[in-house]
Structure 1
Amino acid sequence: MSSNQPYLTFYDGRRTPQLGLGTWQVTGDATAPAVQAAIEAGYRAIDTAYIYYNETEVGQGIAQSGVPREDLFITTKLWNNRHELDSAKSALQESLDRLQLDYVDLYLIHWPVPKEKMYLQAWEALIQMRDDGRAKSIGVCNFNADHLQNLLDKTGVLPVVNQIELHPYFQQTELCAYHADHGILTEAWSPLGQGQVLTDPVIQELAHQLQASPAQVILRWHIQMGHIVIPKSANPDRIRENFNLWNLHLDDAAMARIATLNKADGRIGPEPELFHVMKG
Protein backbone atom coordinates (compact mmCIF):
# COMPACT_ATOMS: atom_id res chain seq x y z
CA MET A 1 0.00 0.00 0.00
CA SER A 2 1.31 3.45 -0.91
CA SER A 3 1.45 5.92 1.94
CA ASN A 4 2.14 9.00 -0.19
CA GLN A 5 -1.22 9.31 -1.91
CA PRO A 6 -2.07 13.02 -2.21
CA TYR A 7 -5.09 14.53 -0.52
CA LEU A 8 -6.92 17.70 -1.48
CA THR A 9 -8.73 20.01 0.93
CA PHE A 10 -12.24 21.31 0.33
CA TYR A 11 -13.06 24.90 1.17
CA ASP A 12 -15.01 23.55 4.18
CA GLY A 13 -11.73 22.25 5.62
CA ARG A 14 -12.37 18.53 5.03
CA ARG A 15 -9.93 16.41 3.02
CA THR A 16 -10.45 13.94 0.21
CA PRO A 17 -8.05 11.46 -1.36
CA GLN A 18 -7.21 12.69 -4.86
CA LEU A 19 -7.56 9.22 -6.40
CA GLY A 20 -10.56 6.99 -5.72
CA LEU A 21 -12.38 3.98 -7.12
CA GLY A 22 -15.36 4.67 -9.37
CA THR A 23 -18.10 2.02 -9.41
CA TRP A 24 -20.31 3.06 -12.34
CA GLN A 25 -21.25 -0.10 -14.27
CA VAL A 26 -19.69 -2.29 -11.56
CA THR A 27 -22.62 -4.44 -10.49
CA GLY A 28 -23.65 -7.67 -8.84
CA ASP A 29 -21.14 -10.07 -7.41
CA ALA A 30 -18.21 -8.09 -8.84
CA THR A 31 -18.82 -5.02 -6.68
CA ALA A 32 -17.82 -6.04 -3.15
CA PRO A 33 -14.60 -7.78 -4.30
CA ALA A 34 -13.66 -4.70 -6.37
CA VAL A 35 -14.14 -2.44 -3.35
CA GLN A 36 -12.12 -4.80 -1.17
CA ALA A 37 -9.34 -5.03 -3.78
CA ALA A 38 -9.19 -1.25 -4.02
CA ILE A 39 -9.02 -0.74 -0.27
CA GLU A 40 -6.35 -3.44 0.01
CA ALA A 41 -4.34 -1.69 -2.74
CA GLY A 42 -4.43 1.58 -0.79
CA TYR A 43 -7.48 3.40 -2.09
CA ARG A 44 -9.42 5.20 0.61
CA ALA A 45 -12.09 6.87 -1.55
CA ILE A 46 -15.01 4.97 -3.07
CA ASP A 47 -17.58 6.64 -5.34
CA THR A 48 -21.05 5.23 -5.90
CA ALA A 49 -24.57 6.52 -6.62
CA TYR A 50 -28.17 5.47 -6.17
CA ILE A 51 -28.56 5.00 -9.92
CA TYR A 52 -25.61 2.58 -10.09
CA TYR A 53 -27.73 0.07 -8.15
CA ASN A 54 -24.70 -1.15 -6.23
CA GLU A 55 -24.80 0.76 -2.94
CA THR A 56 -25.64 -2.42 -1.01
CA GLU A 57 -22.66 -4.27 -2.49
CA VAL A 58 -20.36 -1.27 -2.01
CA GLY A 59 -21.41 -1.27 1.64
CA GLN A 60 -20.60 -4.96 1.89
CA GLY A 61 -17.14 -4.37 0.46
CA ILE A 62 -16.54 -1.56 2.94
CA ALA A 63 -17.71 -3.70 5.87
CA GLN A 64 -15.52 -6.61 4.79
CA SER A 65 -12.40 -4.50 4.25
CA GLY A 66 -11.50 -4.26 7.93
CA VAL A 67 -10.43 -0.61 7.51
CA PRO A 68 -11.89 1.78 10.10
CA ARG A 69 -14.77 3.87 8.77
CA GLU A 70 -13.04 7.12 9.67
CA ASP A 71 -10.16 6.22 7.33
CA LEU A 72 -12.46 5.92 4.31
CA PHE A 73 -14.05 8.59 2.13
CA ILE A 74 -17.41 7.46 0.72
CA THR A 75 -19.41 9.37 -1.89
CA THR A 76 -22.92 8.74 -3.18
CA LYS A 77 -25.40 10.77 -5.19
CA LEU A 78 -28.99 12.00 -5.32
CA TRP A 79 -30.91 10.94 -8.43
CA ASN A 80 -32.95 13.28 -10.63
CA ASN A 81 -36.42 12.22 -9.44
CA ARG A 82 -35.67 13.03 -5.78
CA HIS A 83 -34.93 16.77 -5.93
CA GLU A 84 -37.93 17.81 -3.80
CA LEU A 85 -36.81 18.76 -0.28
CA ASP A 86 -38.33 15.92 1.77
CA SER A 87 -37.75 13.34 -0.97
CA ALA A 88 -34.06 14.27 -1.13
CA LYS A 89 -33.70 13.82 2.63
CA SER A 90 -35.37 10.41 2.43
CA ALA A 91 -33.17 9.45 -0.51
CA LEU A 92 -29.99 10.03 1.48
CA GLN A 93 -31.28 7.93 4.38
CA GLU A 94 -32.15 5.13 1.97
CA SER A 95 -28.63 5.28 0.53
CA LEU A 96 -27.13 5.21 4.02
CA ASP A 97 -29.22 2.17 4.89
CA ARG A 98 -28.03 0.33 1.78
CA LEU A 99 -24.42 1.30 2.46
CA GLN A 100 -24.78 0.34 6.14
CA LEU A 101 -23.29 3.69 7.13
CA ASP A 102 -24.28 6.48 9.49
CA TYR A 103 -22.95 9.17 7.16
CA VAL A 104 -21.30 9.73 3.81
CA ASP A 105 -18.26 11.92 3.42
CA LEU A 106 -19.65 13.52 0.27
CA TYR A 107 -23.20 13.69 -1.09
CA LEU A 108 -23.72 14.99 -4.61
CA ILE A 109 -26.66 16.10 -6.76
CA HIS A 110 -26.13 13.79 -9.74
CA TRP A 111 -27.51 16.06 -12.50
CA PRO A 112 -29.05 19.55 -12.42
CA VAL A 113 -32.01 18.61 -14.71
CA PRO A 114 -32.61 22.35 -15.17
CA LYS A 115 -35.89 21.92 -17.07
CA GLU A 116 -37.47 20.68 -13.83
CA LYS A 117 -36.32 23.81 -11.96
CA MET A 118 -35.85 21.76 -8.79
CA TYR A 119 -32.11 21.63 -8.28
CA LEU A 120 -32.17 24.65 -5.96
CA GLN A 121 -34.58 22.82 -3.66
CA ALA A 122 -32.33 19.77 -3.81
CA TRP A 123 -29.36 21.93 -2.88
CA GLU A 124 -31.23 23.37 0.10
CA ALA A 125 -31.92 19.77 1.20
CA LEU A 126 -28.22 18.91 0.92
CA ILE A 127 -27.32 21.96 3.03
CA GLN A 128 -29.68 20.72 5.74
CA MET A 129 -28.27 17.19 5.53
CA ARG A 130 -24.75 18.56 5.85
CA ASP A 131 -25.84 20.52 8.91
CA ASP A 132 -27.38 17.41 10.53
CA GLY A 133 -24.19 15.43 9.94
CA ARG A 134 -25.43 12.73 7.57
CA ALA A 135 -23.33 14.22 4.76
CA LYS A 136 -20.03 15.66 5.92
CA SER A 137 -19.52 17.65 2.70
CA ILE A 138 -21.87 18.41 -0.18
CA GLY A 139 -21.37 18.98 -3.87
CA VAL A 140 -22.77 18.46 -7.34
CA CYS A 141 -22.13 16.64 -10.59
CA ASN A 142 -22.52 17.88 -14.15
CA PHE A 143 -23.36 21.48 -13.25
CA ASN A 144 -22.45 24.20 -15.73
CA ALA A 145 -21.09 27.54 -14.52
CA ASP A 146 -24.52 29.19 -14.69
CA HIS A 147 -26.02 26.42 -12.53
CA LEU A 148 -23.24 26.89 -9.99
CA GLN A 149 -23.69 30.65 -9.99
CA ASN A 150 -27.41 30.20 -9.39
CA LEU A 151 -26.65 28.10 -6.29
CA LEU A 152 -24.40 30.85 -4.98
CA ASP A 153 -26.83 33.66 -5.80
CA LYS A 154 -29.87 31.95 -4.27
CA THR A 155 -28.36 30.15 -1.24
CA GLY A 156 -24.95 31.70 -0.60
CA VAL A 157 -23.47 28.18 -0.49
CA LEU A 158 -21.29 26.68 -3.21
CA PRO A 159 -20.54 22.97 -3.63
CA VAL A 160 -17.14 21.82 -2.45
CA VAL A 161 -16.76 19.84 -5.67
CA ASN A 162 -18.29 19.55 -9.14
CA GLN A 163 -17.89 16.07 -10.63
CA ILE A 164 -17.87 16.44 -14.42
CA GLU A 165 -16.91 14.55 -17.55
CA LEU A 166 -13.24 15.39 -17.99
CA HIS A 167 -10.45 13.67 -19.90
CA PRO A 168 -7.72 14.70 -22.36
CA TYR A 169 -10.22 14.85 -25.24
CA PHE A 170 -12.63 17.03 -23.21
CA GLN A 171 -10.70 19.22 -20.80
CA GLN A 172 -13.43 21.74 -19.84
CA THR A 173 -10.91 24.54 -19.30
CA GLU A 174 -13.48 27.34 -18.89
CA LEU A 175 -15.54 25.43 -16.34
CA CYS A 176 -12.40 24.41 -14.45
CA ALA A 177 -11.36 28.07 -14.36
CA TYR A 178 -14.74 28.96 -12.82
CA HIS A 179 -14.17 26.24 -10.23
CA ALA A 180 -10.71 27.58 -9.40
CA ASP A 181 -12.00 31.14 -9.07
CA HIS A 182 -14.70 30.02 -6.62
CA GLY A 183 -12.81 27.48 -4.51
CA ILE A 184 -14.63 24.47 -6.00
CA LEU A 185 -12.58 21.33 -6.61
CA THR A 186 -12.88 19.61 -9.98
CA GLU A 187 -13.57 15.87 -10.01
CA ALA A 188 -13.30 13.90 -13.24
CA TRP A 189 -15.68 11.13 -14.25
CA SER A 190 -14.83 9.03 -17.29
CA PRO A 191 -11.24 10.19 -16.72
CA LEU A 192 -9.98 7.85 -19.46
CA GLY A 193 -12.65 8.98 -21.94
CA GLN A 194 -14.38 5.60 -21.56
CA GLY A 195 -11.22 4.05 -22.95
CA GLN A 196 -11.13 6.17 -26.10
CA VAL A 197 -8.04 8.14 -25.06
CA LEU A 198 -5.98 5.03 -24.23
CA THR A 199 -5.10 4.44 -27.88
CA ASP A 200 -4.24 8.06 -28.70
CA PRO A 201 -0.77 8.20 -30.33
CA VAL A 202 0.46 10.91 -27.95
CA ILE A 203 -0.62 8.92 -24.91
CA GLN A 204 0.87 5.75 -26.35
CA GLU A 205 4.20 7.47 -27.04
CA LEU A 206 4.38 8.97 -23.54
CA ALA A 207 3.51 5.61 -22.00
CA HIS A 208 6.36 3.98 -23.94
CA GLN A 209 8.82 6.71 -22.90
CA LEU A 210 7.84 6.52 -19.24
CA GLN A 211 7.50 2.72 -19.12
CA ALA A 212 3.96 3.16 -17.84
CA SER A 213 0.53 2.09 -19.03
CA PRO A 214 -1.57 4.55 -21.05
CA ALA A 215 -4.07 4.63 -18.19
CA GLN A 216 -1.32 5.55 -15.73
CA VAL A 217 -0.20 8.42 -17.98
CA ILE A 218 -3.73 9.82 -18.22
CA LEU A 219 -4.44 9.43 -14.51
CA ARG A 220 -1.12 11.07 -13.67
CA TRP A 221 -2.09 13.98 -15.93
CA HIS A 222 -5.30 14.38 -13.93
CA ILE A 223 -3.38 14.28 -10.65
CA GLN A 224 -0.93 16.95 -11.82
CA MET A 225 -3.79 19.08 -13.11
CA GLY A 226 -5.23 19.06 -9.59
CA HIS A 227 -8.32 17.01 -10.39
CA ILE A 228 -9.90 14.45 -8.11
CA VAL A 229 -10.10 11.33 -10.26
CA ILE A 230 -12.17 8.16 -9.92
CA PRO A 231 -11.27 5.53 -12.54
CA LYS A 232 -13.72 2.64 -12.68
CA SER A 233 -12.61 -0.97 -12.72
CA ALA A 234 -13.68 -4.35 -11.36
CA ASN A 235 -10.38 -5.98 -12.35
CA PRO A 236 -8.06 -6.29 -9.30
CA ASP A 237 -4.90 -6.07 -11.43
CA ARG A 238 -6.11 -2.91 -13.15
CA ILE A 239 -7.28 -1.45 -9.83
CA ARG A 240 -3.77 -1.92 -8.46
CA GLU A 241 -2.13 -0.60 -11.64
CA ASN A 242 -4.27 2.54 -11.61
CA PHE A 243 -3.16 3.24 -8.05
CA ASN A 244 0.54 2.78 -8.78
CA LEU A 245 1.13 6.38 -9.89
CA TRP A 246 3.12 7.98 -7.18
CA ASN A 247 6.59 7.46 -8.66
CA LEU A 248 5.41 8.61 -12.11
CA HIS A 249 5.89 12.23 -13.17
CA LEU A 250 4.97 14.06 -16.37
CA ASP A 251 7.31 16.93 -17.20
CA ASP A 252 6.12 20.26 -18.60
CA ALA A 253 6.61 19.08 -22.18
CA ALA A 254 4.45 16.00 -21.62
CA MET A 255 1.73 18.05 -19.92
CA ALA A 256 1.79 20.50 -22.83
CA ARG A 257 1.42 17.67 -25.36
CA ILE A 258 -1.61 16.28 -23.54
CA ALA A 259 -3.12 19.79 -23.44
CA THR A 260 -3.18 19.77 -27.26
CA LEU A 261 -5.49 16.72 -27.30
CA ASN A 262 -8.55 18.75 -26.27
CA LYS A 263 -11.32 18.61 -28.88
CA ALA A 264 -14.28 20.91 -29.43
CA ASP A 265 -16.47 17.82 -29.90
CA GLY A 266 -14.77 15.73 -27.23
CA ARG A 267 -17.78 15.24 -24.97
CA ILE A 268 -18.85 11.58 -24.77
CA GLY A 269 -21.62 11.75 -22.17
CA PRO A 270 -24.82 13.82 -22.06
CA GLU A 271 -25.00 17.59 -22.19
CA PRO A 272 -26.01 18.73 -18.66
CA GLU A 273 -28.35 21.44 -19.92
CA LEU A 274 -30.37 18.84 -21.85
CA PHE A 275 -30.07 15.63 -19.81
CA HIS A 276 -33.53 14.84 -18.46
CA VAL A 277 -33.71 11.18 -17.43
CA MET A 278 -36.01 11.00 -14.39
CA LYS A 279 -36.70 7.30 -13.86
CA GLY A 280 -34.65 5.59 -11.23
Structure 2
Amino acid sequence: MTINEKGFVLNDKTAWPYVGLGTIDLVGDKGTFEILNALNSGFRLLDTSTNYNNEGIVGEAVRRSKLHREEILVSSKLPGSHHDYDKAFIFLQESLRRAGLEYFDKYLIHWPNPDDGKYVEAWKALVDAQKQGLIRTIGVSNFEPDHLDDIINATGVTPATNQVERHPYFNNKRMVEENKKRGILTEAWSPFGRGYLNDVLENETIKEIAAKYDKTPAQIIINWNYKAGVMAIPKSADPVHQKENIEATDFDLSQEDIEKIDALDKGEDGRVEGQDPYEYHEYV
Protein backbone atom coordinates (compact mmCIF):
# COMPACT_ATOMS: atom_id res chain seq x y z
CA MET A 1 0.00 0.00 0.00
CA THR A 2 1.28 3.46 -0.93
CA ILE A 3 -0.09 6.99 -0.69
CA ASN A 4 -0.20 9.59 -3.43
CA GLU A 5 -1.73 13.04 -3.73
CA LYS A 6 -5.15 11.58 -4.55
CA GLY A 7 -5.47 8.69 -2.15
CA PHE A 8 -4.28 5.22 -1.25
CA VAL A 9 -2.93 2.78 -3.81
CA LEU A 10 -3.62 -0.71 -2.50
CA ASN A 11 -1.62 -3.90 -2.95
CA ASP A 12 -3.90 -4.89 -5.85
CA LYS A 13 -3.01 -1.59 -7.60
CA THR A 14 -6.50 -0.09 -7.17
CA ALA A 15 -6.83 3.53 -5.99
CA TRP A 16 -9.01 4.49 -3.04
CA PRO A 17 -9.84 7.84 -1.38
CA TYR A 18 -8.54 8.94 2.01
CA VAL A 19 -12.06 9.03 3.47
CA GLY A 20 -15.17 6.93 2.86
CA LEU A 21 -18.78 7.33 3.95
CA GLY A 22 -20.08 4.95 6.59
CA THR A 23 -23.74 4.23 5.81
CA ILE A 24 -24.95 2.42 8.93
CA ASP A 25 -28.38 3.83 9.93
CA LEU A 26 -28.77 5.59 6.57
CA VAL A 27 -31.91 3.76 5.51
CA GLY A 28 -35.04 4.16 3.40
CA ASP A 29 -35.76 7.02 1.02
CA LYS A 30 -34.30 9.47 3.55
CA GLY A 31 -31.06 7.49 3.53
CA THR A 32 -30.96 7.56 -0.26
CA PHE A 33 -31.02 11.35 -0.26
CA GLU A 34 -28.44 11.51 2.54
CA ILE A 35 -26.10 9.34 0.49
CA LEU A 36 -26.75 11.45 -2.60
CA ASN A 37 -25.82 14.52 -0.56
CA ALA A 38 -22.57 12.82 0.38
CA LEU A 39 -21.77 12.05 -3.25
CA ASN A 40 -22.52 15.67 -4.14
CA SER A 41 -20.16 16.75 -1.33
CA GLY A 42 -17.31 14.77 -2.85
CA PHE A 43 -17.51 11.32 -1.28
CA ARG A 44 -16.71 8.54 -3.73
CA LEU A 45 -16.60 5.53 -1.39
CA LEU A 46 -19.80 4.15 0.16
CA ASP A 47 -19.29 1.54 2.89
CA THR A 48 -22.28 -0.71 3.54
CA SER A 49 -23.06 -4.19 4.84
CA THR A 50 -25.94 -6.61 4.65
CA ASN A 51 -26.29 -6.14 8.40
CA TYR A 52 -26.94 -2.43 7.87
CA ASN A 53 -30.14 -3.36 6.00
CA ASN A 54 -29.45 -0.71 3.36
CA GLU A 55 -27.63 -2.31 0.43
CA GLY A 56 -30.73 -1.57 -1.65
CA ILE A 57 -30.79 2.16 -0.93
CA VAL A 58 -27.03 2.43 -1.42
CA GLY A 59 -27.50 0.93 -4.87
CA GLU A 60 -30.43 3.26 -5.50
CA ALA A 61 -28.28 6.28 -4.62
CA VAL A 62 -25.62 5.05 -7.06
CA ARG A 63 -28.21 4.79 -9.83
CA ARG A 64 -29.77 8.20 -9.08
CA SER A 65 -26.40 9.94 -8.92
CA LYS A 66 -25.25 11.96 -11.91
CA LEU A 67 -21.86 10.28 -11.52
CA HIS A 68 -20.90 7.34 -13.71
CA ARG A 69 -20.93 3.97 -11.95
CA GLU A 70 -17.16 3.63 -12.31
CA GLU A 71 -16.69 6.89 -10.39
CA ILE A 72 -18.37 5.48 -7.26
CA LEU A 73 -16.80 2.81 -5.07
CA VAL A 74 -19.21 0.55 -3.21
CA SER A 75 -17.97 -1.71 -0.42
CA SER A 76 -20.02 -4.36 1.39
CA LYS A 77 -19.41 -7.26 3.79
CA LEU A 78 -20.02 -10.98 4.18
CA PRO A 79 -21.73 -11.86 7.50
CA GLY A 80 -20.57 -14.63 9.80
CA SER A 81 -23.58 -16.82 9.03
CA HIS A 82 -22.28 -17.50 5.51
CA HIS A 83 -18.61 -18.44 5.85
CA ASP A 84 -19.04 -21.82 4.11
CA TYR A 85 -17.57 -21.55 0.61
CA ASP A 86 -20.82 -22.25 -1.28
CA LYS A 87 -22.93 -20.13 1.06
CA ALA A 88 -20.52 -17.22 0.69
CA PHE A 89 -20.77 -17.31 -3.10
CA ILE A 90 -24.57 -17.39 -3.08
CA PHE A 91 -24.82 -14.69 -0.44
CA LEU A 92 -22.55 -12.40 -2.43
CA GLN A 93 -24.76 -12.85 -5.48
CA GLU A 94 -27.86 -12.06 -3.41
CA SER A 95 -26.19 -8.93 -2.02
CA LEU A 96 -25.44 -7.73 -5.53
CA ARG A 97 -29.05 -8.31 -6.59
CA ARG A 98 -30.31 -6.38 -3.53
CA ALA A 99 -28.03 -3.50 -4.40
CA GLY A 100 -28.89 -3.74 -8.09
CA LEU A 101 -25.20 -3.75 -8.99
CA GLU A 102 -23.17 -5.98 -11.28
CA TYR A 103 -20.14 -5.92 -8.98
CA PHE A 104 -18.90 -4.59 -5.66
CA ASP A 105 -15.78 -2.49 -5.81
CA LYS A 106 -14.73 -3.98 -2.47
CA TYR A 107 -16.08 -6.84 -0.40
CA LEU A 108 -14.94 -7.80 3.10
CA ILE A 109 -15.38 -10.72 5.48
CA HIS A 110 -17.07 -8.81 8.32
CA TRP A 111 -15.74 -10.83 11.30
CA PRO A 112 -13.44 -13.87 11.46
CA ASN A 113 -15.68 -15.86 13.85
CA PRO A 114 -12.58 -17.90 14.80
CA ASP A 115 -14.37 -20.54 16.88
CA ASP A 116 -16.25 -21.63 13.75
CA GLY A 117 -12.97 -22.03 11.88
CA LYS A 118 -14.44 -21.24 8.46
CA TYR A 119 -12.94 -17.86 7.64
CA VAL A 120 -10.39 -19.49 5.33
CA GLU A 121 -13.29 -21.01 3.36
CA ALA A 122 -14.91 -17.60 3.16
CA TRP A 123 -11.68 -16.05 1.94
CA LYS A 124 -11.30 -18.69 -0.79
CA ALA A 125 -14.81 -17.78 -1.96
CA LEU A 126 -13.88 -14.10 -2.18
CA VAL A 127 -10.70 -14.92 -4.08
CA ASP A 128 -12.69 -16.90 -6.65
CA ALA A 129 -15.47 -14.29 -6.82
CA GLN A 130 -12.84 -11.68 -7.62
CA LYS A 131 -11.58 -13.87 -10.48
CA GLN A 132 -15.14 -13.99 -11.84
CA GLY A 133 -15.50 -10.21 -11.74
CA LEU A 134 -18.11 -10.05 -8.97
CA ILE A 135 -15.68 -8.09 -6.76
CA ARG A 136 -12.89 -5.70 -7.77
CA THR A 137 -11.00 -5.57 -4.46
CA ILE A 138 -11.19 -8.09 -1.61
CA GLY A 139 -10.44 -7.54 2.04
CA VAL A 140 -11.37 -8.38 5.59
CA SER A 141 -12.66 -6.69 8.70
CA ASN A 142 -11.69 -7.20 12.35
CA PHE A 143 -9.00 -9.76 11.49
CA GLU A 144 -6.09 -10.29 13.90
CA PRO A 145 -2.55 -11.16 12.71
CA ASP A 146 -2.98 -14.94 12.91
CA HIS A 147 -6.29 -14.73 11.03
CA LEU A 148 -4.52 -12.74 8.31
CA ASP A 149 -1.67 -15.20 8.10
CA ASP A 150 -4.05 -18.16 7.93
CA ILE A 151 -5.85 -16.85 4.84
CA ILE A 152 -2.66 -15.60 3.17
CA ASN A 153 -0.89 -18.94 3.69
CA ALA A 154 -3.92 -20.89 2.47
CA THR A 155 -4.41 -18.94 -0.77
CA GLY A 156 -1.31 -16.87 -1.49
CA VAL A 157 -3.63 -13.84 -1.67
CA THR A 158 -3.19 -10.96 0.77
CA PRO A 159 -6.23 -8.84 1.66
CA ALA A 160 -6.04 -5.32 0.27
CA THR A 161 -7.68 -3.81 3.35
CA ASN A 162 -8.50 -4.72 6.95
CA GLN A 163 -11.26 -2.63 8.50
CA VAL A 164 -10.81 -2.47 12.27
CA GLU A 165 -12.05 -0.48 15.23
CA ARG A 166 -9.91 2.64 15.60
CA HIS A 167 -10.64 5.92 17.35
CA PRO A 168 -8.75 8.04 19.90
CA TYR A 169 -9.92 5.91 22.86
CA PHE A 170 -8.83 2.71 21.09
CA ASN A 171 -6.16 3.69 18.60
CA ASN A 172 -5.34 0.08 17.73
CA LYS A 173 -1.83 1.05 16.65
CA ARG A 174 -0.81 -2.59 17.00
CA MET A 175 -3.11 -3.64 14.15
CA VAL A 176 -2.21 -0.61 12.05
CA GLU A 177 1.41 -1.77 12.20
CA GLU A 178 0.55 -5.45 11.65
CA ASN A 179 -1.43 -4.50 8.56
CA LYS A 180 1.42 -2.36 7.25
CA LYS A 181 3.86 -5.27 7.66
CA ARG A 182 1.68 -7.26 5.26
CA GLY A 183 1.05 -4.42 2.81
CA ILE A 184 -2.58 -4.08 3.92
CA LEU A 185 -4.40 -0.77 4.23
CA THR A 186 -6.11 -0.19 7.58
CA GLU A 187 -9.63 1.18 7.48
CA ALA A 188 -11.05 2.72 10.66
CA TRP A 189 -14.66 1.95 11.54
CA SER A 190 -16.42 4.16 14.09
CA PRO A 191 -13.58 6.72 13.95
CA PHE A 192 -15.57 9.02 16.28
CA GLY A 193 -16.45 6.24 18.73
CA ARG A 194 -20.18 5.90 19.25
CA GLY A 195 -22.05 8.80 20.75
CA TYR A 196 -24.21 6.74 23.09
CA LEU A 197 -21.10 5.13 24.59
CA ASN A 198 -17.97 7.21 24.19
CA ASP A 199 -18.34 10.23 21.94
CA VAL A 200 -14.75 11.33 21.42
CA LEU A 201 -15.98 14.42 19.58
CA GLU A 202 -16.64 15.92 23.02
CA ASN A 203 -13.17 15.19 24.37
CA GLU A 204 -11.54 18.38 25.64
CA THR A 205 -8.10 17.58 24.20
CA ILE A 206 -9.62 16.99 20.76
CA LYS A 207 -11.63 20.21 21.00
CA GLU A 208 -8.55 22.21 22.03
CA ILE A 209 -6.59 20.87 19.06
CA ALA A 210 -9.54 21.62 16.77
CA ALA A 211 -9.64 25.23 17.96
CA LYS A 212 -5.90 25.56 17.33
CA TYR A 213 -6.32 24.59 13.64
CA ASP A 214 -9.75 26.22 13.23
CA LYS A 215 -11.18 22.80 12.36
CA THR A 216 -13.95 20.64 13.76
CA PRO A 217 -13.17 17.77 16.19
CA ALA A 218 -14.31 15.36 13.47
CA GLN A 219 -11.83 16.84 11.01
CA ILE A 220 -9.04 16.48 13.57
CA ILE A 221 -9.79 12.77 14.05
CA ILE A 222 -10.02 12.09 10.32
CA ASN A 223 -6.72 13.90 9.78
CA TRP A 224 -5.14 11.94 12.64
CA ASN A 225 -6.07 8.76 10.77
CA TYR A 226 -4.86 10.16 7.46
CA LYS A 227 -1.46 11.05 8.96
CA ALA A 228 -1.19 7.44 10.17
CA GLY A 229 -1.92 6.09 6.68
CA VAL A 230 -5.38 4.94 7.73
CA MET A 231 -8.60 5.36 5.74
CA ALA A 232 -11.36 6.72 7.98
CA ILE A 233 -14.99 5.65 7.40
CA PRO A 234 -17.06 8.27 9.25
CA LYS A 235 -20.86 8.15 9.18
CA SER A 236 -22.80 11.38 8.83
CA ALA A 237 -26.24 12.20 7.45
CA ASP A 238 -25.73 15.96 7.77
CA PRO A 239 -24.62 17.58 4.47
CA VAL A 240 -22.59 20.22 6.33
CA HIS A 241 -20.71 17.60 8.32
CA GLN A 242 -20.27 15.47 5.21
CA LYS A 243 -18.61 18.39 3.44
CA GLU A 244 -16.36 19.02 6.44
CA ASN A 245 -15.37 15.36 6.69
CA ILE A 246 -14.41 15.00 3.04
CA GLU A 247 -12.20 18.11 3.33
CA ALA A 248 -10.37 16.94 6.46
CA THR A 249 -7.06 15.95 4.86
CA ASP A 250 -5.99 19.37 3.57
CA PHE A 251 -3.95 20.37 6.63
CA ASP A 252 -1.09 18.90 8.66
CA LEU A 253 -1.42 17.96 12.30
CA SER A 254 1.85 18.46 14.15
CA GLN A 255 3.60 15.44 15.59
CA GLU A 256 3.02 16.92 19.05
CA ASP A 257 -0.73 17.02 18.49
CA ILE A 258 -0.75 13.52 17.02
CA GLU A 259 0.97 12.29 20.16
CA LYS A 260 -1.60 14.08 22.34
CA ILE A 261 -4.38 12.22 20.53
CA ASP A 262 -2.48 8.93 20.74
CA ALA A 263 -2.20 9.45 24.50
CA LEU A 264 -6.01 9.33 24.84
CA ASP A 265 -5.91 5.58 24.18
CA LYS A 266 -7.52 3.42 26.88
CA GLY A 267 -6.39 0.06 25.56
CA GLU A 268 -8.93 -2.75 25.62
CA ASP A 269 -11.16 -0.68 27.89
CA GLY A 270 -11.58 1.78 25.04
CA ARG A 271 -13.37 -0.61 22.68
CA VAL A 272 -16.84 0.77 21.99
CA GLU A 273 -18.69 -2.44 22.81
CA GLY A 274 -15.95 -4.79 23.93
CA GLN A 275 -15.89 -6.48 20.53
CA ASP A 276 -12.66 -8.47 20.71
CA PRO A 277 -12.28 -10.31 17.36
CA TYR A 278 -11.05 -13.41 19.20
CA GLU A 279 -14.27 -13.58 21.20
CA TYR A 280 -16.98 -11.71 19.28
CA HIS A 281 -19.02 -13.77 16.84
CA GLU A 282 -21.46 -12.47 14.27
CA TYR A 283 -24.21 -14.86 13.25
CA VAL A 284 -26.74 -12.69 11.40
TM (norm. structure 2) is 0.94
Report the Cα distance in structure 1 between the residues aligned to 2:281 and 2:248, rounded to whole angstroms: 37
Report the Cα distance in structure 2 between the residues aligned to 1:5 and 1:76, rounded to whole angstroms: 26
CA contact 2:226–2:249 (8 Å) conserved in 1: no
Q: Which letter maps to 1:267?
A: R
Which SS does the other structure have where 1:25 is aligned? coil
Q: Which letter maps to 2:116?
A: E
Deviation at 1:93, TM superposition (A): 1.0
In the alignment, what sits opposite 2:10? 10
Report the Cα distance in structure 1 between the residues aligned to 2:258 and 2:6, rounded to whole angstroms: 19
In the alignment, what sits opposite 2:126? 126
Report the Cα distance in structure 2 between the residues aligned to 1:6 and 1:231, rounded to whole angstroms: 19
Deviations 1:150-176 (A, max 9, x none): 112222222111000001111112211
Matched ranges for 1:191-202 at <5 A: 191-195=191-195, 196-202=199-205
Runs of at least 4 residues off by over 4 Å: none
Which SS does the other structure have where 2:19 is aligned? coil
Matched ranges for 1:220-231 at <5 A: 220-231=223-234
Report the Cα distance in structure 1 between the residues aligned to 2:249 and 2:224, rounded to whole angstroms: 12
CA contact 2:222–2:249 (8 Å) conserved in 1: no
Deviation at 1:5, TM superposition (A): 7.4
Report the Cα distance in structure 2 between the residues aligned to 1:33 and 1:5, rounded to whole angstroms: 30
Report the Cα distance in structure 2 between the residues aligned to 1:277 and 1:148, rounded to whole angstroms: 18
Which SS does the other structure have where 2:77 is aligned? strand
Deviation at 1:248, TM superposition (A): 2.7
Deviation at 1:201, TM superposition (A): 1.4
Report the Cα distance in structure 2 between the residues aligned to 1:42 and 1:277, rounded to whole angstroms: 32
Q: Which letter maps to 1:185?
A: L
Which SS does the other structure have where 1:106 is aligned? strand
Q: What percentage of residue pairs aligned between the two structures are identical?
A: 39
Which SS does the other structure have where 1:138 is aligned? strand
Are 2:279 and 1:274 aligned?
A: yes
Report the Cα distance in structure 2 between the residues aligned to 1:62 and 1:170, rounded to whole angstroms: 33
RMSD: 1.4
In the alignment, what sits opposite 2:215? 212
Report the Cα distance in structure 2 between the residues aligned to 1:71 and 1:186, rounded to whole angstroms: 22
Q: Which letter maps to 1:275?
A: Y
Matched ranges for 1:74-153 at <5 A: 74-153=74-153
Report the Cα distance in structure 1 between the residues aligned to 2:266 and 2:221, rounded to whole angstroms: 16
TM (norm. structure 1) is 0.95
Is there any run of 5+ residues in structure 2 with no aligned partner, and where? none
